[in-house]
Structure 1
Amino acid sequence: MHQETLSMKMSKQMPLNALRVFEAAARLLSFTKAGDELGMTQTAVSYQIKLLEDHVGEPLFFRRPRQIALTEAGERLAPKIAQGFSILEEALAALRSDAGQLLHIDSTATFAQQWLTRTLGRFQLKHPNIAVRLSTSPVIIDFVSTRADVAIRWGQGDWPGLKAHRIMRMDFTPMLSPKLAASIGGIHEPADLLKLPIISAADTWWKQWFTEAGIEDPGLGRFPANELGTQSFDAGMAIAGQGVAIVNPKHFPDEIESGRLFQPFSLTCNDGRDYWLVYPEGRRNIPKIRDFRNWLLEELAPFYE
Structure 2
Amino acid sequence: MRDLPPTATLRAFEVATRHATFTSASEELHVTQSAVSHQLKHLEDLWGLQLFQRGKALRLTPAGAALAPIVREFFMNLEATLADLREQKGRVRLKVSTTYSFALKWLLPRLPSLSQQHPQILITLETSDKAIKFSSADADVAIRLGNGNYPGLHSEFMLREQIFPVASPDLLKRFGAPHEPAELLRYPLLTRDGADLVPKWEAWFEHIGVSIAPLKESVRFADTNMTIEAALLGQGIALARSGHVEAEINDGRLVRLFELPFASPVGYYFVCPKGIETQPHIISFRNWLLAESMQAQQNYQ
Partner of 2:281: 288
Q: Is the 8 A contact 1:194 1:218 kept in 2?
A: no
Question: For 1:77-92, what aligned pairs fall within 5 Å after superposition?
Answer: none
Does residue 209 in structure 1 map to residue 190 in structure 2?
no
Does residue 162 in structure 1 map to residue 153 in structure 2?
yes
CA distance in 2, matches of 1:268, 1:188: 17
Q: For residue 242 of structure 1, report the CA deviation from its aligned partner.
A: 0.9
Q: For residue 142 of structure 1, report the CA deviation from its aligned partner.
A: 0.9
TM-score by length of 1: 0.63
CA distance in 1, matches of 2:219, 2:100: 21
Q: Is the 8 A contact 2:192 2:222 kept in 1?
A: no
CA distance in 2, matches of 1:239, 1:193: 17
CA distance in 2, matches of 1:180, 1:251: 20
Q: For residue 151 of structure 1, report the CA deviation from its aligned partner.
A: 0.8
Q: For residue 129 of structure 1, report the CA deviation from its aligned partner.
A: 2.2
Structure 1 residues 224 and 280, CA, compared in 2 at 3 Å: closer, same or farther?
farther
Partner of 2:263: 270
Q: Is the 8 A contact 1:167 1:303 kept in 2?
A: no
CA distance in 2, matches of 1:151, 1:254: 23
Please state whether the residue corresponding to 2:200 is helix, strand or coil: helix
Percent identity between matched residues is 34
Does residue 185 in structure 1 map to residue 179 in structure 2?
no
Q: For residue 110 of structure 1, report the CA deviation from its aligned partner.
A: 1.7
Q: For residue 296 of structure 1, report the CA deviation from its aligned partner.
A: 0.9
CA distance in 2, matches of 1:181, 1:140: 39
* Aligned length, in residue pairs: 207
Deviations 1:183-223 (A, max 9, x none): 22221112222222221255742111101222222422x21
Does residue 123 in structure 1 map to residue 114 in structure 2?
yes
Does residue 228 in structure 1 map to residue 210 in structure 2?
no
Please state whether the residue corresponding to 2:254 is helix, strand or coil: coil
The structure 2 residue matched to 1:176, chosen from 152, 167, 171, is: 167
Please state whether the residue corresponding to 1:145 is helix, strand or coil: coil
Partner of 2:85: none
The structure 1 residue matched to 2:246, chosen from 253, 257, 262, is: 253
Which amino acid letter does the alignment assign opposite residue 214 of structure 1?
G
Please state whether the residue corresponding to 1:270 is helix, strand or coil: coil
Deviations 1:116-152 (A, max 9, x none): 1111122122222221110111212211100211111
CA distance in 2, matches of 1:218, 1:266: 24
169-178 or 251-260, which moves further after superposition? Answer: 251-260
CA distance in 1, matches of 2:213, 2:94: 46
The structure 2 residue matched to 1:102, chosen from 93, 96, 116, is: 93
Deviations 1:102-127 (A, max 9, x none): 10011111211112111112212222
Q: Which runs of 5+ in 1 are unaligned?
A: 1-96
CA distance in 2, matches of 1:141, 1:164: 12
Provide the aligned C-alpha RMSD in A: 2.1
Q: Is the 8 A contact 2:189 2:217 kept in 1?
A: yes
CA distance in 1, matches of 2:217, 2:192: 6
Deviations 1:280-304 (A, max 9, x none): 1221112221110011112221234
Q: Is the 8 A contact 2:106 2:243 kept in 1?
A: no
Partner of 1:194: 185
Q: For residue 98 of structure 1, report the CA deviation from its aligned partner.
A: 9.1
Q: For residue 235 of structure 1, report the CA deviation from its aligned partner.
A: 1.2
Larger radius of gyration: 2
Q: For residue 264 of structure 1, report the CA deviation from its aligned partner.
A: 1.2
CA distance in 1, matches of 2:134, 2:147: 18
CA distance in 1, matches of 2:89, 2:151: 29
TM-score by length of 2: 0.64
CA distance in 2, matches of 1:298, 1:201: 31
